Structure 1
């Protein structure tokens, strides 16, 4: 279990390492293009839904507990990117069953 640390002083948002690894690819691509957008996810433990506003000026850290040497699932990144580019913003989706394909 990793953490997305958002803002200053930094709120820690616990997320599965694999999901966080894939979110990092999509989020950094959007922030690199100076895009601002919402990120939403459901907390299975509490049943609550959360949304934060991501902006290039807001501090953001991705802290993974496990090694990041696992392959990325290209289909999942494509799905997350498509949702991120929609009007509702990026939403954490379940990983599709497709074989992971290593992406550099």
Structure 2
């Protein structure tokens, strides 16, 4: 399980390494272009089944922490799905990998 660490607010979001790799590609591309946006995800039932969001801005430090080193090939369809979401007014909304049998969602904590 990797982490996206939003250092300015000391928030750590637990994300499986494979998902984090794909998110890093999309987030990195938007930030390199100087774009700010929301990143949102649905919370698990254990923490209320709500939704969480963080504001991502090129001036805010992010830290991507991977546990695994072999994450498999990039799923271009997934990157396109995430990128399309990120380009909409509501920002990047986490979506599971197409065709993957997972029911995981990111978990943020301070």
* The two structures share one fold, judged by TM-score above 0.5: yes
- Mapped to 2, the partners of 1:9 and 1:89 lie a distance apart of 19
TM-score (norm: length of structure 1): 0.86
Once the two structures are TM-superposed, the CA of residue 49 in structure 1 deviates from its matched residue by: 1.3
Partner of 2:38: 38
Higher relative CO (CA 8 A, sep ≥ 6), structure 1 or 2? 2
**Matched residue count:** 98
Equivalent position SS for 1:8? helix
TM-score (norm: length of structure 2): 0.82
Structure 2 unaligned segments of length 5 or more: list them: 101-110
Structure 1 unaligned segments of length 5 or more: list them: 99-104
Structure number with the higher helix fraction is: 2
Once the two structures are TM-superposed, the CA of residue 68 in structure 1 deviates from its matched residue by: 4.3
Cα root mean square deviation, aligned: 1.6
Q: Which runs of 4+ in 1 moved over 4 A?
A: none
Range with greater deviation from structure 2 (60-69 or 72-81): 60-69
| Mapping for residues 42-81 of structure 1, pairs under 5 Å | 42-44=42-44, 45-46=46-47, 47-81=49-83
